[in-house]
Amino acid sequence: MSTSRLFGSVRAAARSAAGGVRRASSAAGTRAGPSKLALGAALLAVPAALYLSRPAAALDARVAPAKGPRAVSVAEVLRQAEGDAVWVVINGEVYDMTRFLDDHPGGRDIILANRSRDVTPLFRPRHPADQLDGGNLPAEVVRVGPLAPASEAELAEIALSISAEALAEEERIRAAREAFEERGLGSVINMRDFEKVAEPLLSTVAWAYYASAGDDEITKNANAAAYQRVEFRPRVLRRVGQADASTTLLGCASSIPVFIAPAAMAKLGHPDGEVNLTRGAGATGIIQAISSNASCGIDEMVAERLPGQPLFYQLYVNRDRKKAEELIRRLDANKFDAIMLTADAPVGGKRERDLRLKGEFEGPAGGVSVKSDDTQGVSQAMFAGVDPDLCWDDLKWIRSITSIPVMIKGVQTVEDALQAYNAGADGILISNHGGRQLDTTRPSLDVLLEIRKHAPQLLRPQFRAPTGPSAASLAHPERLTPADDPAQKPTPRPFDIFIDGGVSRGTDVVKALCLGANGVGVGRGFLFAQSVAGEEGVEHAVNIFKQEIELALRLLGANKISDLRPSLVEVKDK
């Protein structure tokens, strides 16, 4: 791809982020593929070297500045490089950040290190396009006015510098992107391929954030390994000419029993970020769960939502309950289909890959480190506003605000699964945050097995039988489809159990469903897919899962999701 075409992709992505371009919201409509936008992903992920090789303000001159009291000259911005006032330029506007320094989730050092600079290339990949609009602008941030027209030389004075390391990384990403485009998406035949392809296409900071997990990453690895302990018990001579992987998740139709688990900062991998996930989910008929820390705004994603397309929202409750209530009411107004109340992240985990690259993330795009005693990294900075005192009583408070179904995300014990049901939740998501929080917690699949053993009443009746064959069941084959057990009366209301963590195969999905899960979430896999090829990457990932799930169904002797039973799997001892 030529450099001119490359910058055309960046400009197109920026216009889209500003609301200037909106693709047709139709599953049958024409949508841009990776050949137009994917290479721009390397530019908006740190270090964004090519993007920075031209003054950022010049690139943003097409954006009409908000009305302000006066235009601010470059010279005036530079005069604030010393003194009490701290100014930055974002999208052609000058902002006074002085009173916001201590409230900035990423810490004050990142702002101070870039005062009197155009920080648009640092800001854009990490924040929704509407972050500085109207009611979204923090009260402590003061919009001074639009940047006055300036020459290229003047704009260069406030542009971020580019280090040799940043240029080398940009060249690495460019070469990797060109090599992949020669091979094309056809070379990606499973979800692990997406991960392998994505690594060289991402900046070191983006890769560290996506791939990181808590401490020694033991739980992250155990999540995936747990599925290897489950073996299939296929039934033969069944009519399996056709297979249907469609199902419902919390009452919402889905083409496959997989949803996009909430994962943040998608713009680090692609300029369209989470909007790619919305478009891809709509085109393929699956559900996207949106993170509170998404790098795209709610309005941006809702604007791309197809008629009837379900959306879930992963809610981090802000310690400022007024802000939290405003967000919940916003979800209500936008007709979200479920809220996933985040329970496993009252504070951020220690994600060491992320922490080791803290300086690169927080410093100028050229890779200049910011020295600080504060060891917050990309991930931990996101938890600055989260209420660590969130408790079970708050479920009632949420219920008083909205009628949207509420799931508890992050359940890791049977005790809390029962507590969630008794507290009135509509379901749970068994999750350890992808191993990104407390390391050496049990794999998510083990928690599902614990629920099967100690609280089978939470499962649908056909999933309450012991896993695998017993002497009695082998003597009486009809019992392989268990009859209702009076001692295990069904719950008086629907209660969905979702699971995420370590899922990379359609066979993993089918195993989880055989053991009683209603649906399975995949987070990192879809981040990698959209980083590789934008919306087309998401669609390709869904098709991979669909084909693998349908193949597993047919080889098990099943035609549809409702045919799955515990008797079709056996769990080996550790």
Reading the block at residue 26, the tokens are 């139709």
| Residue 521: φ, ψ to 5° | -100, 145
Q: Any catalytic annotation for residue 104? A: no
**Rounded distance, CA 464 to CA 456, Å?**
5
Return the closest-CA partner of residue 500 out of 488, 512, 491, 489: 512
Catalytic residue of the set 344, 354, 426, 496: 344
Q: Any catalytic annotation for residue 374? A: no
Please, are residues 33 and 23 in contact by the beta-carbon 8 Å criterion? no
What type of residue is 563? Answer: D
Q: What secondary structure does DSSP assign to 326-373, as a single string?
A: HHHHHHHHTT-SEEEEE-S-SS---BHHHHHTHHHHHS-TT------S
Catalytic residue of the set 316, 354, 500, 563: 316
Q: What secondary structure does DSSP assign to 452-488, as a single string?
A: HHH-GGGS-GGG-SPSS--HHHHHSGGGGSPPPPGGG
Catalytic residue of the set 421, 433, 508, 563: 433
Please, are residues 427 and 491 in contact by the beta-carbon 8 Å criterion? no
**Rounded distance, CA 519 to CA 500, Å?**
9
Please, are residues 498 and 520 in contact by the beta-carbon 8 Å criterion? yes
**Rounded distance, CA 260 to CA 542, Å?**
10
Strands (DSSP E) along 233-277, which ranges? Answer: 247-249, 252-254, 258-260
Reading the block at residue 248, the tokens are 């419902």
**Rounded distance, CA 558 to CA 551, Å?**
10
Please, are residues 560 and 553 in contact by the beta-carbon 8 Å criterion? yes
> What is the three-class DSSP state of 312?
strand
What angle (nearest 5°) sits at the alpha carbon of residue 475, between those of residues 473 and 481?
35
Q: Any catalytic annotation for residue 127? A: no
**Rounded distance, CA 502 to CA 232, Å?**
18
- Active centre residues (catalytic): 316, 344, 433
